[in-house]
Structure 1
């Protein structure tokens, strides 16, 4: 791929993925690289600009992460964010010290004033709110730099040397709390780095299809299709690339949402591929009988999935390539170079030993989730699949408290479908990032008609989030909750009480189990 490239150099900041997403949203390709990457390797990528992330360290400490000083002589523009800003100052002759209350230790939303003659703030208001999070202070600004933003507490919120294309900001333009933050990043990309906006999913689709065709040749490809967005987009891309050389094994464990299995199968009818749907509901439910512990549920489902996939794959015979739906956050979170591993991702939870393949194909490993969805649209997948809600691998098994039965699964499926339907009809779903129902194991007394009932409590959950590391509960209008509650109690047998989860993450998690 011959795209203009921005390198996001990671110094341990919590928003590294978010910075990269903002750059991609502006139509410019970028990659996140650890600060330990040799400068020669970085320059070999021919970047049009660098962005230094924030980080938890202080630049003046002996063990603080640093950059090769020769980077500043490479003739490539740099934007430093928070720690990245202080790093620029430290390397180019400035002085960074620990802040105190009198020298601008700032956290949270801060009214900030800008010099709009600076390219970074071109066309933006002279006053807006930024999100600060820094305990250090630039006591001395490097020679050749101008002060281009300040707050009431801090005279040097932003610095720049426009001759060399170096910019530093103490706040975080990548977070939503910073007004016009994305516009500032866009100005850096287009006004400073000379970006042309050559990163589109239409272009990526054509490039990725050609790359898969070249790699696969006349070989055969096997994909475990879960029905989620990532694996479905991989399936569509491979279908376009190699058609009948692709076999998709869709294991329907009977714990999907209402009609999802049929919808997944219908979405792939237009392609000439080998689509194998395994209806294994009875098999999974029998393995889960009597099991209440959520971790045991997860392990049983994961292991059984592999067993079913293994059995079906043996019928297919030898394959040359195994495809996976790995996406860019998986790659970043699994550790970049010497970066800390947040969590390891295994898209196929334990590959069968007998599968004899040359290598794994991961055509989405450079894409963020929103880009995967857009690629799916470019490939012609239906919107109901492309915009599908995040759904855990164990499915409804971890949204049913206690033992799992077919009756409970059918009850939850219908209640969840009503909840989602009403949110979508009201347009409220566009204001939240995930929403679902949970069938609790609690029974309560109710009155149905003239009789007493003793049925289950259904919990509704909806959250807003930037990255799912933290999340806030969504404020659904009372009138809509009232409508949802009335429909579920009247239309779904076995539920007589509805509660709404108003707990954020932390202290709770998004899922209940």
Structure 2
């Protein structure tokens, strides 16, 4: 890595990814590693600084995450956040105990000592707290730098280049949090703002070109921004040695199979093989109602279809003396972290549709050019690649498609019904100028029927839920307060235009406690 790097050790905090995102906003590369990672792996990255995240454990518990305290003696600046502060105190000879009063939510912190970490901040700052333990005694060499009315809020040992805060500077509720993180990264660590889209594109193209060499690659396209940007990046590197496979799994949005092909071929210049396997997928989904089972059925069938098409490409390449040896995937950083607990002791919510495997006998090596990026960074890369807005600004769409937005059995009739309702939701959101302002907006078909009146006649038909959320990266989300007029138009159009639906409801659940998708 030839750029400035800040390593974040994840102790299981729900905010760890947010720390990484905040640092990248300074155009500084950040990487999240599990707190259990060997010290040699941290050293191999030659980090400019190390951040210890928060976490749900207590440092004095027998089952506390077994991180190597050697990270505190590498000689590079260290910033502890919440649990990270307690880790520093505990392992350097201080004492951490259960707090008499737990602090959770907004708090007022008074800065009591001059330190470069707080440079430019007012003496009193509003922060976000989330802790049940406190540092009762500090290790030798440390001073208190801040406090709330109830507890210690900051410490420092500038001789050892170690700073820590009990609050969370990475969340928006801490108003001066970005200034604090910038002080750490730019001033204390001496990072250079060299993590830019231009640099990423150049280095990625060079790396992929060297990886593939004289080989060929295949890519599974979904039509979304992730797989599209990955495909364009790899195509820039190896040209027509990339073949993209786009599969209709029967649960795409209305007319999407034709629209995606047109965009990919005509606007992006990609070599696309399109496979209409809708009936094949729907036959496999017949009678399946469990959400996880749906995901597995679709994932397994996609692998089978992809395998069939890949073998045809293999045979064609052999006839011209080539060899397909690489598989391109649009995997993002949140995909990896949310699907696995390897990045610290975090909990897996559900199996993720973007992370999986192909048959071993395909013997393909992976190219995941976006694996270290967040969604907003992928969009920035897409813009710099000159890709059209209709691809770059497309809202996230689940790999299992409408199958996880149809609660209960997925049938051709129910798919068609939801496609019509979903198109109305997206159409009205776009007309209202809200499409780029919300993270996702879509319709969900519920396994609920209710009585209604249409044209002076009694009806007994399906219920449709409308879901719109605001989010930065999909890890957390708030329901979007759509204008009443927009909701009224959506409801009126769905009931009037979609045969089989007579009631529309709006989902006002945030994530957590809910998830963005219903299944």
Same fold? TM cut 0.5: yes
- Is 1:168 equivalent to 2:175 in the alignment? no
* Equivalent residue, structure 2, for 1:319: 324
- Whole-angstrom CA distance in 1 between matches of 2:410 and 2:343: 42
* Equivalent residue, structure 1, for 2:128: 131
- Whole-angstrom CA distance in 2 between matches of 1:344 and 1:445: 36
Once the two structures are overlaid, the 10-residue window that deviates more, 421-430 or 122-131, is 421-430
- Is 1:510 equivalent to 2:516 in the alignment? yes
Aligned residue among 381, 384, 393 for 1:375:
381
Alignment check: 8 A CA contact 1:431 1:464 kept: yes
Once the two structures are overlaid, the 10-residue window that deviates more, 6-15 or 212-221, is 6-15
Alignment check: 8 A CA contact 1:113 1:128 kept: yes
- Whole-angstrom CA distance in 1 between matches of 2:351 and 2:286: 30
- Is 1:204 equivalent to 2:193 in the alignment? no
Deviation at 1:389, TM superposition (A): 2.2
**In structure 2, the residue corresponding to 1:210 is in which secondary structure?**
helix
Aligned residue among 227, 233, 236 for 1:237:
233
Which stretches in structure 1 are left out of the alignment for 5+ residues? none
Cα distance change of structure 1 residues 28 and 230 upon mapping to structure 2, 3 Å threshold: same
CA displacement 1:171-202 (0-9 Å, x = unmatched)? 11112222222221112111211122111122
* Equivalent residue, structure 1, for 2:56: 56
Alignment check: 8 A CA contact 1:82 1:170 kept: yes
* Equivalent residue, structure 1, for 2:213: 217
Cα distance change of structure 1 residues 81 and 264 upon mapping to structure 2, 3 Å threshold: same
CA displacement 1:447-468 (0-9 Å, x = unmatched)? 3345444433221112345665
Deviation at 1:7, TM superposition (A): 1.0
- Whole-angstrom CA distance in 2 between matches of 1:28 and 1:403: 47
Matches within 5 A, 1:19-168: 19-61=19-61, 64-65=64-65, 68-101=68-101, 105-114=102-111, 117-154=114-151, 156-168=152-164
CA displacement 1:255-278 (0-9 Å, x = unmatched)? 212343333223322455431011
- Is 1:447 equivalent to 2:447 in the alignment? no
Cα distance change of structure 1 residues 108 and 336 upon mapping to structure 2, 3 Å threshold: same
TM-score when scaled to structure 1? 0.89
**In structure 2, the residue corresponding to 1:190 is in which secondary structure?**
helix
Alignment check: 8 A CA contact 2:219 2:244 kept: yes
Alignment check: 8 A CA contact 2:212 2:326 kept: yes
Deviation at 1:508, TM superposition (A): 4.0
* Equivalent residue, structure 2, for 1:435: 441
Aligned residue among 273, 277, 289 for 1:276:
273
**In structure 2, the residue corresponding to 1:422 is in which secondary structure?**
helix
Cα distance change of structure 1 residues 32 and 287 upon mapping to structure 2, 3 Å threshold: closer
Cα distance change of structure 1 residues 489 and 340 upon mapping to structure 2, 3 Å threshold: closer
**In structure 2, the residue corresponding to 1:187 is in which secondary structure?**
helix
